[in-house]
Amino acid sequence: MTGGYGRVVWMPTFDSEHNHLTVNPNPDHVPITQSGFLLPEVLMLLDLMAEHNLALATGHSAPEESMTLIRAAQQRGIDRIIVTHPSSALVQMPIDLQQQAARLGALLEYPIAHAEPIGRYSVRRFHRSDQKRGSGERRAEQ
């Protein structure tokens, strides 16, 4: 790797297996797990990411896949982990898993579009939901 421009590696989004199974069938989807285990190629990628100090974004992975990614990334020394819009219809991560991810040190990314009238939350509901997840606690501690 040359140039030093890469900072974040996203797992598959619209071509994820989770998206294929839950939102939009895609014959060219890209799995990252098999039988609950990360594929060898994904583990190799995580090793490279750790070597080059790159952050991980979970993409549109299934909630359990995201948790598996977080743990595997941390085992390799990757400490910058972003759970990509976990409350969206594309990811559907339950609040208890969002809380677990936050406790493990992952940052949870919530697009403001989810708080706008075009999204599924009002700003007030978005804030209450954010408080339930404990998202504000981590920011306060830093």
Contact 74, 104 (CB under 8 A): yes
**pLDDT at position 140:** 36
Report strand pairing: 8-10 vs 55-57. Answer: parallel
Q: Which of 95, 84, 87 is nearest to 114 (CA)?
A: 87
The residues spanned by each domain of the chain are: 17-141
Report strand pairing: 81-83 vs 55-57. Answer: parallel
Residue keyed to tokens 């609950």: 36
Q: What's the pLDDT tens digit per position in 39-79? A: 999 999 999 999 999 999 999 999 999 999 999 999 999 99
Question: Does the structure show a pLDDT above 90 at 113?
Answer: no
Question: Does the structure show a pLDDT above 70 at 134?
Answer: no
Residue keyed to tokens 């974040």: 8
The Cα–Cα gap between 34 and 18 comes to: 12
**pLDDT at position 110:** 86
The Cα–Cα gap between 21 and 111 comes to: 23
Q: What is the CA radius of gyration of the chain?
A: 15
